[in-house]
């Protein structure tokens, strides 16, 4: 893990020497909270979820050096649960971060019929965060160009990307924060494997295709169920999208349903899939651009990357499903 940035002098000391202020937990420990019988259970659960969200977002920021001193972070707001959660947690972290950074929220009003354009400005004014509403009728363009029955995501995302890059430049933003979470990243990996024939997901941090911006995904370690639960606790004014995510039979939606089913039946499977993207063994794949298989020779020198094809691969035992009893027949 990369070292955390140096602490600013006006910040309170961390709870532990090895703990980063990005991930340090505020408030009473969980054991203390559990001993408060008068506190409503839903309030205790919400507080635990808040601490977990702050910890996981802070950990991703530290691991990938997403936010640096003096950054102006443009938070892209769609009106969905993930972008609300992203902004809310960044506001909380801003108060105790070891670096100073600004936030500016941006919403692209695509002029969808029935879009409640008053909701986001009202919410953002209440937060006190500077914001900008960009009005562009991309909805009409998408509907005119994409044939009926075809998915609109490809064109819609390209139009949005170009507009948001321009807005970021106009606002002087140094980072563009998107609300993709852990499950989005795993879904993208699966989609690329199933339909694209490549191992590619969503990176936590990357340079934009025009080379002018840095895009970050601070929710990279956060599962979707946590953003959904936090949105309920906070009662965010959710705005449904009828351009992309709600399209029936969309491959991403089908894969998402599959992963949610896996999460119910096999707890921990998605966590392991996500961790696998952080533990890539290039010598044990087949991409010749990552490892020079053609010119590989026996050197007589032992190597940790050497093949162990004759060894039995050890995997942890799969957890038993709830309600299933294993009976040994004799």
| Percentage with pLDDT > 70 across the chain | 78
Q: Could you tell me if residue 320 is left (phi over 0), alpha (psi between -120 and 50 degrees) or otherwise beta?
A: beta
The DSSP call for residue 41 is H
Q: Kindly tell me if the per-residue pLDDT of 139 is higher than 50.
A: yes
- Res 7: pLDDT: 35
* Whether pLDDT at 324 is above 60: no
For residue 24, the model assigns a pLDDT of 78
Q: H-helix or E-strand containing 122?
A: helix 119-127
- Split at pLDDT 50, 70, 90, the class of 214 is very high
Q: What is the DSSP letter of 129?
A: -
Beta-carbon count within 10 A of 141 CB? 15
Report helix, strand and coil shares of the chain as percent, to nearest 5: 40, 10, 50
Instruction: Read off the pTM.
Output: 0.82
Predicted confidence (pLDDT) per residue in 69-85, tens digit: 999 999 999 999 999 99
DSSP 194: I
Cβ atoms 214, 208 nearer than 8 A: yes
User: How far is it, in rounded angstroms, from Cα 292 to Cα 295?
Assistant: 6
* Fold (CATH) for 62-273: Rossmann fold (3.40.50)
């Amino acid at each position: 893990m990369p070292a955390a940035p140096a602490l600013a002098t006006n910040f309170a000391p961390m709870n532990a020497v090895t703990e980063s202020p990005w991930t340090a937990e505020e408030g009473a420990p969980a054991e203390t909270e559990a001993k408060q019988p008068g506190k409503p259970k839903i309030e205790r659960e919400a507080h635990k979820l808040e601490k977990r969200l702050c910890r996981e977002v802070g950990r991703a920021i530290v691991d990938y050096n997403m936010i640096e001193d003096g950054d102006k972070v443009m938070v892209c707001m769609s009106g969905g649960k993930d972008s609300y959660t992203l902004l809310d947690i960044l506001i909380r972290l801003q108060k105790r971060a070891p670096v100073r950074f600004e936030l500016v929220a941006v919403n692209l009003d695509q002029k969808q019929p029935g879009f409640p354009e008053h909701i986001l400005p009202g919410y953002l004014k209440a937060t006190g965060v500077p914001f900008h509403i960009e009005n562009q009728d991309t909805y009409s363009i998408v509907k005119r160009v994409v044939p009926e029955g075809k998915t609109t995501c490809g064109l819609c995302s390209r139009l949005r990307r170009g507009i948001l890059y321009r807005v970021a430049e106009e606002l002087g933003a140094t980072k563009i924060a998107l609300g993709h979470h852990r499950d989005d990243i795993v879904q993208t990996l699966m989609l690329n494997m199933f339909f694209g024939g490549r191992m590619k997901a969503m990176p936590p941090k990357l340079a934009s295709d025009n080379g002018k911006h840095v895009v970050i995904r601070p929710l990279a370690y956060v599962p979707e169920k946590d953003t959904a639960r936090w949105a309920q606790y906070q009662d965010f004014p959710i705005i449904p999208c009828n351009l992309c995510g709600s399209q029936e039979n969309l491959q991403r939606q089908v894969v998402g349903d599959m992963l949610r089913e896996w999460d119910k039946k096999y707890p921990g499977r998605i966590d392991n899939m996500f961790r696998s993207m952080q533990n890539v063994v290039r010598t044990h794949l087949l991409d010749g651009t990552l490892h020079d298989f053609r010119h590989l020779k026996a050197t007589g020198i032992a190597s940790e990357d050497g093949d162990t094809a004759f060894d039995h691969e050890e995997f942890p035992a799969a957890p038993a499903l709830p309600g299933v009893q294993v009976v040994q027949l004799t």
